[in-house]
Structure 1
Amino acid sequence: MTPTPNKKPDRRPPYQHAADELRRDIEQGRIKPGEQMPSVRELQERFRIANMTARSALNVLRDEGLIYTIHGRGSYVADISDSTDGFAIDYNPPAWYLAKKSEGAVEEGGGEGKPDDESAGSSLIHLLTDLRDQIRALSAEHQELRREVEALKKAQQESRP
Structure 2
Amino acid sequence: MTPAPEKKPDRRPPYQHAADELRREIKQGRFKPGEQMPSVRELQDRFGVANMTARSALNVLRDEGLIYTIHGRGSFVADISDGASEFSAEYTAPAWYLAKKSDGEQEQGGGEGEPDDTAAGSSLAELLTGLRDEIRELSAEHQELRREVEALKKAQQSQS
TM-score (norm 1): 0.70
C-alpha distance in structure 2 between counterparts of 1:2 and 1:23, whole Å: 34
Report if the CA contact (8 A) 1:66-1:90 is conserved.
Answer: yes
**Residue aligning to 1:4:** 5
Q: Please tell me whether Structure 1 or Structure 2 has the larger radius of gyration of its CA atoms.
A: 2
User: 1:30 is aligned with what amino acid?
Assistant: R
Sequence identity percentage = 76
User: Which of 66, 88, 91 is 2:86 aligned to?
Assistant: 91
**How far 1:141 moved relative to its partner?**
0.9
Q: Which deviations, in whole Å up to 9, do the C-alpha atoms of 1:120-149 show, x marking residues without a partner? A: 322221221221111011111101211211
Distance 1:41 1:154, change over 3 A: closer
Q: Label 1:89 to 1:73 Cα distance change in 2 as closer, same or farther (>3 A).
A: farther
1:151 equivalent in structure 2: 151
How far does residue 152 in structure 1 lie from its aligned partner after superposition? 1.3
Deviations 1:66-115 (A, max 9, x none): 1111012211112334x7xxxx7732334x57xxxxxxxxxxx8999xx8
2:13 aligned with 1:13, yes or no?
yes
Other-structure match for 1:62: 62
Task: Give the aligned CA root-mean-square deviation in angstroms.
Answer: 3.0
Amino acid at match of 1:73: R
Instruction: Give the secondary structure class of the aligned counterpart of 1:92.
Output: coil
3-state SS of the aligned residue for 2:75? strand
Runs of 4+ in 1 over 6 A off after TM superposition: 109-112
Query: What stretches of structure 2 of length at least 5 have no aligned partner?
Result: 92-107
